[in-house]
Amino acid sequence: MPLRYRPPMIPGQFPATRLRRNRRTPWLRAMVRETLLTPASLIWPVFVTEGAEPEPIVTMPGVVRHPVGSLGAVAREAASLGIPAIALFPNTPADRRSADGREALNPDNLVCRAIAELKAATDAVGIMTDVALDPYTTHGHDGLVDAAGRVLNDATVDMLVGQALNQARAGADILAPSDMMDGRVAAIRRALEAEGFADAHIMAYSAKYASGFYGPFRDAVGAAGRLTGDKATYQMDPANGREALAEVALDVAEGADSVMVKPGLPYLDVVKAVADRFDLPVFAYCVSGEYAMVEAAVAAGMLVRETVVPEMLTAFRRAGAAGVLTYHAPFVARLLGR
């Protein structure tokens, strides 16, 4: 029987009831705390690049693109901090990008080599990979585009299946389709089963909105300035909430093991609605624009990072998120470890 909402019961009246009694000391506040944030709640998004040296990302202060050779240290750092998974995003060289994104199918591409480096370093951290074509296309879209500029759903799904299989063969633990094409979860699940990857986890970007908060991310993966038009024909309208429940329901029926809402803070109502409706893990992505806003405010002396970042991430957990993708993951894990 589904759980029903019950209005809160007021336990008594003042002065017999004083709710401040439970806030009196740090140990008492900890004992009655309703929502817990731990390193196990975090997924660390990591950008990967060719070359030998880390590359700072101007629009994301404190975040770098890691060369493949340094990923072993990243994996060991995540393991030591108790972060359970790393999400990989490639900055594909310009000469490897094409209109059809065929580099996504290359078994020796940047992501596949990054997976191998992480796997060689430790088996204590899971590897999550992005299934979408925008890091590989010259036009910046997540799918194939026809002569009229329309993003083609079914032809893109065929490419995404090949990309997902390529990543699974390389050793990815979690495949995360972020493209928002209709039917791609079912197609990927069928292909994984047919090739013997029955245990591969699909975390579907089920409610991914056409948001203005993605700008720094596009800088990080080298997509800034490439995009022709916008992504509003396949990513969700920010005004829609009920539609997100339909998207999640379809992905669950097609074989998703977990689902995601992206971006994060502007869509906490959607996170809560999905968590209340569906009995499987719901994740949220605290995206690059949210990270950049915090860091800009911290740099200006307006906010204190140690206070506001855990507060933000606790809000995701309170809304019902099983975990959060956040660029602050190592910072928060260290903070919690104190």
Contacts 24+ apart (CB under 8 A), 62-65: 62/295, 62/327, 63/220, 63/291, 63/327, 65/91, 65/220
Write down the catalytic residue from 119, 208, 231, 272.
208
46 closest CA partner among 14, 80, 6, 77? 77
* pLDDT the model gives residue 10: 67
| DSSP secondary structure code for residue 34 in this structure | S
pTM score: 0.94
Within the chain, how many helices (H) and strands (E) appear? 11, 12
CA-to-CA dists, residue 146 to 149, 151, 152, 155, 229, angstroms = 5, 7, 7, 10, 13
Domains by residue range for the chain, with CATH? 37-337 (3.20.20.70)
φ, ψ dihedrals at 309, nearest 5°: -70, -50
* pLDDT the model gives residue 1: 40
Half-sphere exposure of 242 (CA within 13 A, CB side): 0
Buried/exposed code over 80-108 (b: 16+ C-beta within 10 A; e: otherwise): ebbbbbbbbbbbbeeebbeebbbbbebee
Q: CA-to-CA distance for 214 and 64, rounded, in angstroms?
A: 16
Question: Taking the CA atoms of the chain, what radius of gyration do you get in angstroms?
Answer: 21
Spatial contact of 292 and 212, defined as CB atoms under 8 Å apart: no
- Catalytic, 208? Answer yes
pLDDT tens string, the chain, 338 residues long: the values are 445 666 776 668 889 888 999 999 999 999 999 999 999 999 999 999 998 899 999 999 999 999 999 999 999 999 999 999 999 999 999 999 999 999 999 999 999 999 999 999 999 999 999 999 999 999 999 999 999 999 999 999 999 999 999 999 999 999 999 999 999 999 999 999 999 999 999 999 999 999 999 999 999 998 878 888 899 999 999 999 999 999 999 999 999 999 999 999 999 999 999 999 999 999 999 999 999 999 999 999 999 999 999 999 999 999 999 999 999 999 999 999 87
Alpha-carbon 281 to chain mean position: 13
Which helix (H) or strand (E) element contains residue 151?
strand 151-152
Tokens at residue 110, please? 């940047």
Q: CA-to-CA distance for 17 and 10, rounded, in angstroms?
A: 9
- Catalytic, 119? Answer no
Tokens 């990967």 belong to residue? 48
Spatial contact of 46 and 90, defined as CB atoms under 8 Å apart: no
Spatial contact of 286 and 5, defined as CB atoms under 8 Å apart: no
Provide DSSP, 265-294.
Answer: GGGHHHHHHHHHH-SS-EEEEE-HHHHHHH
* pLDDT the model gives residue 3: 54
